[in-house]
Amino acid sequence: MRVISFGGGVQSTALLVLAAQGHIDYSTFLFANVGDDSEHPSTLAYIRDVAVPYAAGAGLDLQQLHRRRRDGATETLWQRLNRPDTRSIPIPVRMANGAPGRRSCTADFKIKVIGRWLREHGATVRDPATVGIGISLDEIHRANRRRKEPYEEIEYPLLDLGLRRSDCEHIIAEAGLPVPPKSACFFCPFRTVEAWKQQRRNEPELFAKSVQLEAVLNVRREAIGRDAAYLTRFGLPLADAIPADQAESWPDDEGGGGGCDSGWCMT
């Protein structure tokens, strides 16, 4: 069994094109959707309108998976975050000093979801599935930090081919496809400062939901005697950290996109 963990971003879309062209040996692509209310709408639109039709035309199987609870109901990350009885926060919110807290979102809503599908389709410790991850040469440090599960063997086709993100963009464009936006949850604390600025400027409804989420999480933290946490590294509520007029906004840095080292998100 050979599958690609498909994130809907540049690197994994390049893998889709390379598979369609016969350059890599994968025919199954698994997109673990953390929720239509959680993934960035532009990622969901790209997968629906571009990636799925392209995969079907090339004879590739692109499947969309969801987290299922024991009772069979699906659960989204947004629902988990807003559950009143949830004491832990699964996303890497920033502490007052800017450092990210622990997270379980990638494990619970990406790795375990794909892992469940692999096991249901025959992957075992003795007969593991091969899982391709879309990490490019310029992000090789992410591969160095990736642990594997007992029922899988990890491959990095882009590293094997010596391809960088810019190469991936070229591959996608040469195939006649639009280059996809960066994939991530719209409220991810690993977003860059510039991404937050663009969200406030161009996607005010998403920014308002991010502000609301941060407030809900802090009400819950205050109730159990914990310090406030934030969606940016500045130790301020999101609406203050990313001001509307941008005149006093903080300088951008690498602050977000590279923070998730597993390779399951943001590819």
Q: What pLDDT, in 10s, does the model give residues 125-171?
A: 999 999 999 999 998 888 865 667 899 999 999 999 999 999 999 99
CB 63 within 8 A of CB 4: no
Q: Percent of the chain at pLDDT above 70?
A: 90
In terms of Cα–Cα distance, which of 210, 264, 267, 266 is closest to 65? Answer: 264
CB 152 within 8 A of CB 119: no
The whole-number pLDDT of residue 210 equals 98
Domains and CATH numbers, the chain: 2-259 (3.40.50)
Close Cβ partners of 132 (under 8 Å, ≥ 6 residues apart): 2, 3, 4, 5, 15, 24, 26, 154, 155, 156, 157
The whole-number pLDDT of residue 249 equals 47
The whole-number pLDDT of residue 251 equals 52
Q: Name residue 2's beta-bridge partners.
A: 130
Residue 6 has pLDDT above 70, yes or no: yes
CB 86 within 8 A of CB 104: no
The whole-number pLDDT of residue 254 equals 43
Q: Does this model's pTM top 0.85?
A: yes
CA dihedral 84, 260, 114, 126 (to 10 degrees): -130
The mean pLDDT of the chain is: 90
Q: What pLDDT, in 10s, does the model give residues 214-235?
A: 999 999 999 889 999 999 999 9
Q: Name residue 131's beta-bridge partners.
A: 3, 154
Residue 60 has pLDDT above 90, yes or no: yes
